[in-house]
Structure 1
Amino acid sequence: MRNLQNKYTGDYHCIVGIEGIMSSTCEVYIKVQSAPDVSVVSSSVCGHEGGDISVQCLYSSGYQNKVKQWCRYKDQRCYTSQNPSVLIRDDDGGRSFTVLMTGLRRTDSGWYYCSVGDLQVPVLITVTEPKRAFTTIPATAPSDSEADIAMITDSTPDTDRAETHRSLTAASETVNTEIHSSTDEQNKSDVILVTCLLSMFMLLLIVALVAIVTWRLRKKLERGQIREGHFNSTRNTSSASVDDNSVIYSSVITFHKAPSSSVNPETEVIYSSVK
């Protein structure tokens, strides 16, 4: 609500519609006056988890002696904070009091009230995750352990930042050294593996060649034995297959006759008979 005027003073309702049914969730009374009795410097304050925030509440002189409180709105009630991490410092001369919340948590997000007497002013507190600054190592991919190397908040002094930077640099160098060492070891392992594979391949090749030569020699010997056996079998068969009836036997008989007129007496005549 902006550009408030006195005519805006009155009751207001927060209306929520669910499936076409309108229902009132809460009722708020707003009073508009020229000089508010209670107000805040900022109605919305943001902080980081683990950090601190401060809220300054202002009040008029008529409420100087009233009770000042910081309460959290929940279940349509305002619960006074009993957390020791919440400090309230009242500045009577400046007619204001300051609320300091330390060690913020994500669960601290919500609506709070600056309460002075019977008047309350709402303040929205939002707690977010802390800012982080990441450092990367050139030419190398970040590992899981490097992803969360550094966290530097805006409120860190320059000396702490310098010390943190030196620590991060040393950590980065250590990680880089470990990465190079692991890379060298991996390369050595790869060379050894390749050498072993080549040796095994050469051994298998030699064994295969020896097996092939042995097989061929054995085949050659087997073929020679088969040929020799076939020759002997053929020769035996030829000898055994000759029929005695087909063999012609002959004998030669020499006769001596008296010489005749037509025969030379000095020549021997040979007679033969065939059976």
Structure 2
Amino acid sequence: MLTRGEFPILDVDTDKNDLIGGWDREAHAPDTLPTRLVMAFLGPTVDQFAAERGWETAVELESITRDFPYYVTEHRGEKVAIVLAPLGAPAAVQNLEFGLNLGVKHVVAVGSCGALHSHEENAMLVPTRALRDEGTSYHYAPAADWIELEPSSVQAVKDALVAANREFAEVATWTTDGFYRETPAVIEARKEAGCDVVDMECSALAAACAFRGADFAQLLYTADSLADLDAHDPRGWGIASRATALDLALDAVVRLGA
């Protein structure tokens, strides 16, 4: 049922049927993918791992940007799908929905974030809540400032980090669509609201998974820093953490829903 809001972005439709998803489900078998999916915001690392480790391509999502292969491998005795996730909430949720329509029920996203405080580069972080400063989540959940990640799903990521003897911190993330609108005033306001880091997908992925009844958690690692409001520090963009983060996400997703 459609409930109209003050602005179009605040319209909420609780009907889970949609035209695009229906086409996905008609075109593919419901078990085309395993139930566990890693959405990896990790650039060329995903294709490199696929080539080096012999991951098979189960299906491809055709997009105007590029085709996205959904690789499948076995990790710790469980079948897992892995897809390179595109930057930004709308594109990322497109890849998520495609996976959900083809059999996915448990999702771990992994990627970088910007530090709003004094987090060192390449620190491992586990978000427990996300500030909804993007548009996509409002198509999946009523308007609210925050979305809380399910504690049991968050625990799966924490357990994977503990098992790997990796230090980590729990954080609140600010999810924004406006990479180039991270102004000093906005950054300061988000810090005052309790945000530790900034990303571009977490709140939308969490909202979409909750709407579809799928488990969701995320692993972040710090890349650039916005802690100094006078100067952005790109550091090394966290590139050194990509391979490690992908292995940790694979460890986490096999724990999710176990």
- Please classify the TM superposition score into its range, dividing by the shorter chain length: under 0.3
CA radius of gyration, larger in:
1
Q: What TM-score do the two structures reach when normalised by structure 1? A: 0.23
Q: What TM-score do the two structures reach when normalised by structure 2? A: 0.24
